[in-house]
Amino acid sequence: MKDISLSKRFVLAAILLCTACIGGAWAADGTVGACTRKDEFQKKQETVDKLVVQLTSAKSEAKAKAIAAEIAKKHGTSEIENLIRYREPQMKLVFVELLKAKAWPIRGRALYGLKMVGDESVIKNVLDMMNDKEIPVREMAVNTLSHIGNADAVKGLEKCKEKEKDPNILASIEAALKVLGQEQKPYAEYKGGKKWEEKLIGPDGAKRVEYAWGWKGEPLFNDYDGKAYDLPEATTFCYPISSYKTDLFASYPRNSFAAGGNHAAEDCAWFREGCSYYAIADGVVRMVQGAGGDWGFLVLIEHKLPGGEYIVSLYGHSAWDLLVKPGDMVKAGQKIATQGLSCSVENGGYGSHIHFGLGDGPYRRPKKCSKGDTYKYKDAEGKEVSGKIVRFGYSTTETDGYSFPKMTAVVETPDGKTQEVVMEDEPLQDQIAWNQPYVEKCKGWLNPEKFLPERVEPKKPDGKKRK
């Protein structure tokens, strides 16, 4: 697998962002993507530090509210991406003010801010946002309540569930109620007792998440499951995010898949910190990776398609509050994670977005080997022959040294038929090393914009989309 240097990635990212935003509805909005302009952003951060210190050192609640209102009025739009980095409890006063903003991206990111610093005193304010006309705002309100909620939040969410029509928001509500009801705790068990904590810097009274760009390092953990599962066929599909075809930074269709010849996914949901990620189909969680590398938090789900083919959906740049672990069975549309904070170690050090990929094959498959490649094998008479790989799979009878099912390949035979061949064992890390962000010619990956829409929005025989 061929990777590219950090400097080249920076150039690629800049090209992607600049070219994609031309057709975007918010292209002229300076609040969107400000964090990617590193020097300018950090200079603003130092200026905002002083304002936040004034807020946190206010001697009375009335004074604090007045300062918060002033910050929201003068800096709430132009410096929203700076503001949501702070983890001072008093910042809740600023974010409550920003829930009144006209632009929904500001309201949505203010809710993210409340998710990280809010307390039970803001639950009513957040519940009020469940009436917002914008789907991303209602979704973010649910996710905020999931994090800071109490019994009042549960009652409010149950009431909202009765009238909500959007399937994504309903899925987020279901997940929130499970978390608030203690049925589920966001990734409670890290191997070896490891725990994720944001690194905070800045002056006393203005502590904020440390800035990171194109982060390179070792993941906090790398949990996987290679067991055999009798997976149901994935026949119902959905998009991995709400408002999939609407973006704050990139027009649709996007040009991120195969950008530079090797960007093996599409980038979307730009600068929607805290938005939900949804499983695109029924499947099994195969890998969950902790932040530290340039993926940020990462989830891989394996799906079995009708006809025996497999694909793996990949959700990169997730936040710390993952809701699934390896071995979990998930349903189409189920909430599995949320999006991480821009330019932080949490999301791999990039502007907040989902790096969504579709691996063309099962979770485990031979390194440097993809569907369509020529594979050498022995026929029934023991003669070595070659044939193109039609699809990969798992043996139902043979296991390897890890007690996992051996990998198989259905190959074309010289007489034009097909044959299933049990493949030779490879080191486990080689078998799961195919999922890299940058792969030359995107070998082994599918274009999500070609694969998903025809399955999420199938057409009638007359060619018209189904309602």
Q: Tens of pLDDT along 197-226?
A: 899 999 999 999 999 998 888 888 889 999
* Per-residue pLDDT tens digits for 355-373: 999 999 999 998 888 999 9
- pLDDT of amino acid 440: 93
Do residues 77 and 31 touch, judged by C-beta distance below 8 A?
yes
Percentage of residues of the chain with pLDDT beyond 70: 91
Above 70 in pLDDT, residue 461?
no
Q: Each residue of 297-313: pLDDT tens digit?
A: 999 999 999 989 999 99
> Mean of the pLDDT values across residues 93-117?
97
| CATH architecture, domain 31-184 | Alpha Horseshoe (1.25)
Tell which wins on pLDDT, 113 or 185: 113
Q: What is the pTM of this model?
A: 0.91
Give Cα separations from 371 to 19, 71, 221, 386, 405 (angstroms): 32, 55, 30, 14, 19
Residue 165 CB neighbours (<10 A)? 6
Report the pLDDT value the prediction gives residue 195, as an integer from 0 to 100. 80
pLDDT band at 19 (very low <50, low <70, confident <90, very high): very low
Q: Is the pLDDT score of 285 beyond 70?
A: yes
pLDDT confidence of residue 2: 37
For 359, counting Cβ atoms within 10 Å of its Cβ (0-12 exposed, 13-18 middle, 19+ buried), the class is buried
Same fold across 1-24+212-363+432-467 and 31-184: no
Distance, in Å, from the CA atom of 185 to the CA atom of 181, rounded to the nearest integer, reads 9
Indicate the pLDDT class of residue 15, thresholds 50, 70 and 90: very low
Is the pLDDT confidence value at 116 over 80? yes
How far apart, in Å, are the Cα atoms of 156 and each of 128, 163, 197, 317, 400?
9, 11, 30, 30, 51
State the average pLDDT over residues 26-33: 63
Q: Higher confidence at residue 312 or residue 33? A: 312
8: pLDDT strictly greater than 50: no
Lowest mean pLDDT among 3-17, 19-33, 61-75, 430-444: 3-17
Query: CA angle, corner 241, sides to 236 and 247, nearest 5?
Result: 130
pLDDT of residue 30: 66
Tokens for 422?
């049990």
| In the chain, where the domains are located | 1-24+212-363+432-467, 31-184, 366-431
pLDDT band at 246 (very low <50, low <70, confident <90, very high): confident
Question: Average of pLDDT values for 247-256?
Answer: 85
287-296, 381-390, 452-461: least confidently modelled range: 452-461
Decide if domain 1-24+212-363+432-467 falls under CATH 2.70.70.10.
yes
CA–CA distance, 325 with 186 (Å, rounded to integer) = 10
pLDDT above 80 for 462: no
Q: What would the mean pLDDT of 326-330 be, rounded to a whole number?
A: 96
Query: If you average pLDDT over every residue of the chain, what do you get?
Result: 90
pLDDT of the residue at 102:
93
Distance CA 1, CA 377 (A): 24
pLDDT at site 424: 87
Indicate if the pLDDT at residue 192 is higher than 50: yes
Q: Which of 136-140, 191-195, 231-235 has the lowest mean pLDDT?
A: 191-195
Residue 88 has pLDDT above 70, yes or no: yes
Q: What is the mean pLDDT of residues 114-124?
A: 97
pLDDT in tens, 386-420: 999 999 999 999 999 889 999 999 999 988 899 99
The pLDDT of 158-165, averaged and rounded, is 96
pLDDT of residue 251: 81
Q: Which of 94-98, 102-106, 299-303, 455-459 has the lowest mean pLDDT?
A: 455-459
How confident is the model over 3-10, as a mean pLDDT?
Answer: 42
